[in-house]
C-alpha cells in the first residue's frame, strides 16, 4: 500500500462525518444499541464492534488501521504506553512455569517486567547476547515460549539478525516479539523478516510531538485478538480518543520527520567519526554490524557517543554545555535531546547503569544539522 495514502487517507471514511478533512474525536465512553439483540450481538464480538471505549473507539480505530498498514501487519492495538505494549504482548502469551529468552540491553522497564514482576508468577527468563544466534538458540529450554528482541536497542544500538532469529524461533515453536521503537515502521519492518509481534513506544516517532504517551502492538489478527480479549480488555490499557487524534495528526508528517532525523544523524556522525575526543560511536551503520544493518534497516536518527575522559565532572560539564540539545529521556519529537548516562551512576535513586558513565545518547531532531554539529563540537572542546 502506498505510504502517502496510509498516512493521509487510510481508514478515514470522510463521507461518514460531513466530509471533514480531519477525523472527528469521538469523545464518548459509551455506545447505544438499537435493540436487545443488537446489544447481544455486539457485546459478544467486541473486537469488531463499538460497545465501550475501553475496547473499541472510532477515532482509535483509524489510528489502528494506519499503523497496522505501516508495519505490514493485519491489525494492531493502541495502548497507553510503550511499556504497556511490551507487557501486554508478553503476558498474553505465557503461563506459570514458562520461560522467556530476551536480548541484553533491552529497555529498562522490559527488564523490570522480566526480572521483578513475572518471577512472582513463576515465569523465568534468560538474558542473551542478541548478536550471537548460537547463544540465543543455546538458551532455549523445553518450557521457553517467547524470544524477545529489541533491534536496535535504544542505548547501545545493538541489532539482532531478524531473519535468523525468526528461523530459530520457528524451529523451536516460539513466539517472537520485537521492540521496533528505534526505527519506526518506516525504517524497519520486522514482520517482513518473519517476526510475529512488533511493539512500539508510539510516544516516539509515531506521535512525534512529545505530547502523547502511547504504545502499539502489531501482528496477525489472531494474535492481536488474543491480546485484546486478555490483557488489553482486562487491564484497561487504553489510549484516549483525544490522544489518538493527536497521533493521527503526527502521522501526517511521519515520513518527513523520520527522514530528516536519519539524514541529519548520518551527516553529523560523518563529521564526528574520527574526532580525537570521541572514544566510541554506538550506531548500527558504524559498527561491525554494518552489513546486517544495511540488510534490514533504512537508517536511524539516534546514536550514542563514548567521550574520551576519565572525569565524571567533565561528562557533566559536557552535557550541560550543549546549547541546542535538551537533557531528557525519550526521542522522536521535533527537538534534539541528550541522555547522559552519568546521571544514572552514583545516584541514590537508581542502581548503577549497565552502560559506561562516559556515554551520552543523542537523538537528532529537526533543527539544522550544522547547528547541532557545531553544538557538539563546542562541547567537545571543553573536554581536556
Domain boundaries, the chain: 3-251, 254-380
Pull the grid cell for residue 363. Answer: 537523538
Distance CA(374)–CA(91), nearest Å, equals 46
Q: What is the pLDDT of residue 349?
A: 55
Q: CATH topology for 254-380?
A: 3.90.1150
Enumerate residues 6+ apart whose C-beta is below 8 A from 234: none
* 174 and 298 Cβ atoms separated by less than 8 Å: no
The pLDDT of residue 176: 98
pLDDT on residue 110: 96
The tens digit of pLDDT for each residue in 57-110 reads 999 999 999 999 999 999 999 999 999 999 999 999 999 999 999 999 999 999
Block means of pLDDT (10 residues each) for the chain, 384 residues, are 95 92 95 96 94 95 98 98 98 98 94 96 97 97 98 96 98 98 98 98 97 98 97 95 98 98 98 96 96 98 96 96 97 97 76 82 98 98 93
CB 196 within 8 A of CB 219: yes
- To 10 degrees, what angle do helices 312-321 and 369-380 make? 150
Contact 186, 255 (CB under 8 A): yes
| CA–CA–CA angle 364, 366, 371 (5° rounding) | 75
What is the separation of C-alpha 211 from the centre of its chain, rounded to a whole number of angstroms?
16
Question: What's the pLDDT score for residue 354?
Answer: 79
Please report the pLDDT score of residue 352 as a whole number.
52
Question: Any idea which residue has 544493518 for its cell?
Answer: 293
Domain 3-251 -> CATH class: alpha beta
Give the per-residue pLDDT at 350: 56
d(CA 129, CA 360): 22
In this prediction, residue 347 carries a pLDDT of 66
| Residue 113 CB partners (closer than 8 Å, separation 6+) | 83, 86, 87, 90
Q: Is 39 exposed, middle or buried (0-12, 13-18, 19+ CB in 10 A)?
A: middle
CA distance 77 to 67: 9
Convert 301-325 to b/e letters by CB count within 10 Å (16 or more is b): bbbbbbbbbeeeebbeebbeebebb
Amino acid at each position: 500500500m502506498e505510504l502517502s495514502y496510509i498516512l493521509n487517507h487510510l481508514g478515514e471514511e470522510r463521507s461518514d462525518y460531513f466530509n471533514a478533512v480531519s477525523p472527528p474525536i469521538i469523545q464518548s465512553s459509551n455506545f447505544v444499541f438499537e435493540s436487545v439483540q443488537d446489544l447481544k450481538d455486539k457485546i459478544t464480538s467486541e473486537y469488531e464492534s463499538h460497545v465501550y471505549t475501553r475496547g473499541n473507539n472510532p477515532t482509535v480505530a483509524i489510528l489502528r488501521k494506519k499503523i497496522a498498514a505501516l508495519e505490514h501487519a493485519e491489525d494492531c492495538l493502541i495502548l497507553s504506553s510503550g511499556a504497556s505494549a511490551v507487557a501486554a504482548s508478553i503476558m498474553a502469551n505465557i503461563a506459570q512455569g514458562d520461560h522467556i529468552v530476551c536480548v541484553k540491553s533491552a529497555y529498562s522497564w522490559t527488564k523490570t517486567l522480566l526480572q521483578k514482576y513475572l518471577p512472582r508468577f513463576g515465569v523465568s527468563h534468560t538474558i542473551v547476547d542478541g548478536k550471537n544466534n548460537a547463544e540465543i538458540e543455546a538458551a532455549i529450554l523445553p518450557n521457553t515460549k517467547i524470544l524477545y528482541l529489541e533491534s536496535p536497542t535504544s542505548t547501545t544500538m545493538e541489532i539482532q539478525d531478524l531473519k535468523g532469529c525468526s528461523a530459530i524461533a520457528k524451529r523451536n515453536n516460539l513466539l517472537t516479539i520485537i521492540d521496533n521503537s528505534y526505527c519506526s515502521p518506516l525504517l524497519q519492518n520486522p514482520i517482513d523478516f518473519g517476526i510475529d509481534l512488533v511493539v512500539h513506544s508510539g510516544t516516539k516517532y509515531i506521535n512525534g510531538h512529545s505530547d502523547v504517551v502511547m504504545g502499539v502492538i502489531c501482528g496477525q489478527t489472531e494474535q492481536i485478538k488474543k491480546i485484546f480479549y486478555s490483557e488489553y480488555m482486562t487491564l484497561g490499557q487504553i489510549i484516549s480518543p483525544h490522544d489518538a487524534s493527536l497521533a493521527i495528526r503526527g502521522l501526517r508528517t511521519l515520513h518527513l520527520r523520520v527522514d530528516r532525523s536519519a539524514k541529519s544523524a548520518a551527516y553529523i556522525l560523518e563529521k564526528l567519526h574520527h574526532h580525537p575526543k570521541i572514544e566510541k560511536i554506538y550506531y548500527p551503520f558504524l559498527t561491525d554490524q554494518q552489513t546486517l544493518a544495511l540488510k534490514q534497516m533504512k537508517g536511524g536518527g539516534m546514536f550514542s557517543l563514548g567521550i574520551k575522559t576519565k572525569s565524571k565532572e567533565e561528562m557533566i560539564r559536557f552535557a550541560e554545555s550543549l546549547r541546542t540539545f535538551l537533557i531528557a529521556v525519550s526521542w522522536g519529537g521535533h527537538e534534539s535531546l541528550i541522555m547522559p548516562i552519568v546521571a544514572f551512576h552514583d545516584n541514590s535513586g537508581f542502581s548503577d547503569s549497565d552502560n559506561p558513565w562516559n556515554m551520552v545518547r543523542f537523538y537528532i531532531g529537526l533543527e539544522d544539522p550544522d547547528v547541532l554539529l557545531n553544538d557538539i563540537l563546542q562541547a567537545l572542546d571543553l573536554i581536556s
